[in-house]
Structure 1
């Protein structure tokens, strides 16, 4: 699997994890981020924001295996984190607009860092639960003001 090169979906998952975890914020110190990392729902939410699609279970599983094997991320007890190696790679990438971030990161991965392989599985039920949690988040309607409390 490691000989195949990086896939676009690997970069998509990596960028989603970076942004969801706050490592993508300009000059934000690692000590100011949540030390436990982010949950799968947050990664899927950010991935949907970036590409208007929720990654399939197989895409997430394959990408995470390759990213863990390359020492770019870790996953412990369901918490996803960017490693110091992953953060260095992220911070030294060429900068552009958000719309090209995944493509830029794919090119950086391809040129600078070989993919790895690691044992990691994403259970079908865990993926489905994360998708369902995300769907519930985006379906929550904004609070409506009653005509009596509209501030007039």
Structure 2
């Protein structure tokens, strides 16, 4: 696969965005979901759960450029969305277990779409802030004992 072809990280970011946005959860119209989409911290969280790794800034930036250029995702004011073409790709992909979904989507991308090249930049500070937000959210809250109860 050449430099301009689809990469595994493109599929990883796409699947993460689909899952984070709930687009794959129900068969409903795209306009029945929250219109603003999801934030980068949600995409990073889902990506980490899928692959036990936090995507690097350059991986997110390159994937979003190719996916947006192909008309599969959009980003506006920090909100990531799946487009109707992206929804169609997701809904018509071959079904697979969660462990192979990213590989399956990469195969679909290679067969059905050409990667694009949209102008989009992810600043280092934005990526770092999203990673920090995700990490803070993922720290479990300490267990508290009920107040005012005495041991019996």
TM-score of the superposed pair, with normalisation by structure 1: 0.92
Distance 2:30 2:67 in 1: 19
Matched, 1:27 2:30: no
Q: Report if aligned partners of 2:75, 2:81 keep a CA contact under 8 Å in 1.
A: yes
CA RMSD of aligned residues (A): 1.9
- Name the count of aligned residue pairs: 150
Residues 2-151 of structure 1 mapped to structure 2, 5 A cutoff: 4-141=4-141, 143-146=143-146
Which stretch has the larger CA shift, 26-35 or 99-108? Answer: 26-35
* CA distance in 2: counterparts of 1:57 and 1:42, whole angstroms: 14
Deviation at 1:147, TM superposition (A): 8.1
Structure 1 gap ranges (5+): none
**Normalising to structure 2: TM-score of the pair?**
0.92
In structure 2, distance between residues paired with 1:76 and 1:30: 16
> How far does residue 28 in structure 1 lie from its aligned partner after superposition?
3.3
**C-alpha separation between the residues in 2 aligned to 1:25 and 1:59?**
25
SS of alignment partner, residue 68 of structure 2: helix
Where do 5+ consecutive residues of structure 2 fail to align?
A: none
Are the counterparts in 2 of residues 3 and 115 from structure 1 also a CA contact under 8 Å?
Answer: no
